[in-house]
Amino acid sequence: MLISGIQPFTLLDYPNKTSCIVFVPGCNFRCGYCHNPEFVLPERLKLLQKDFINEDALFNFLLQRRELLDGVVISGGEPTLAPDLIPFMQKIRRLGFSIKLDTNGNRPEIISKALEERVVDYIAMDVKASLEGYRDLVGPLIRPDNIQKSIELIKNSSVHYEFRSTLLKEVHSAIMLEKMANLIKGARHWFLQKFRPENTLSPLFANYNSFSDQELADIAEHFRDRVNRISIR
């Protein structure tokens, strides 16, 4: 398993769990506002390769922290691109850790396999745009039908989950937000995330604007009846 980085401790990324974050390199999307371009762009990854973390080193780290950590967050990049993701999750599971998977949802077959093998306890999926708005935002590798499949898989699963959307004024019109809310209608939890203009994958997005706290609160209030719970982070 290729591991581009580890955050050894977090109380924020896995609800109600002390956890670490394992970052997996590479992504099939090119979101201009992405704040982890070093884990996405091949030319940036090349510079990091010499510092990639050996899988044995990761498992030694986990063995030493079994009494301190409840869970492991697998993030990226896009983890579902890794061919050995499921066996990797199985190994973590055997150590007794709870597992959270962060995903863009473009590979529902991997999400389905993780659910089938019972190696995931929490899934956080980004919902980036309306289905027809995805391609302009994330690039040509998007399969809108896969996004819809992943949403339904996750909504109908027995694991804990959240959908999350980073909102930008220049991208997320009232019409697009309406379509996004309908796309995940009935979901347990939708997080609206504030856009951060620093360290973006595309320099153009450094000039884009976040919604204000009040505007996000107004958006949340407007769509409160579409999902069981809506929060801002």
Residue with tokens 């990761």: 58
Mean pLDDT of 48-67: 95
Percent of the chain with pLDDT over 70: 100
Which segments of the chain does DSSP mark as H helices, in order?
Answer: 42-48, 55-64, 85-94, 108-116, 134-138, 144-155, 174-183, 213-222
| Cα→Cα distances 60→93, 124, 228, Å | 14, 26, 40
**What are the Cα distances from residue 21, in Å, to 69, 132, 154, 189?**
11, 32, 21, 21
pLDDT digits (tens, 9 = 90+) for 73-93: 999 999 999 999 999 999 999
Partners of 193 in beta bridges = 166
CA distances from 117 to 15, 86, 111, 157 (A): 22, 8, 10, 13
Q: Which of 197, 204, 105 is nearest to 152 (CA)?
A: 105
Domains and CATH numbers, the chain: 5-232 (3.20.20.70)
- Under 8 Å between Cβ of 38 and 45: yes
pLDDT for 44 equals: 87
- Residue 48 pLDDT > 90: no
pLDDT (0 to 100) of residue 95 = 97
Mean pLDDT of 14-33: 97
Largest CA distance in the chain: 50
> What is the Cα–Cα distance from 161 to 232, expressed in whole angstroms?
16
Query: For 77, left (φ over 0), alpha (ψ -120 to 50), or beta?
Result: left
Per-residue pLDDT at 198 exceeds 90: no
What is the 8-class DSSP label of residue 215? Answer: H
Task: Please state, for a pLDDT cut of 90, what percent of the chain lies above it.
Answer: 93
Residue 156 has pLDDT above 90, yes or no: yes
Crossing angle for the helix pair 108-116 and 85-94, to the nearest 10 degrees? 30
Residue 34 has pLDDT above 90, yes or no: yes
Query: Residue type at 59?
Result: F
pTM exceeding the 0.95 threshold for the entire prediction: yes
Min mean pLDDT across 43-47, 65-69, 130-134 is at 43-47
Burial class of residue 145, CB neighbours in 10 A (0-12, 13-18, 19+): exposed
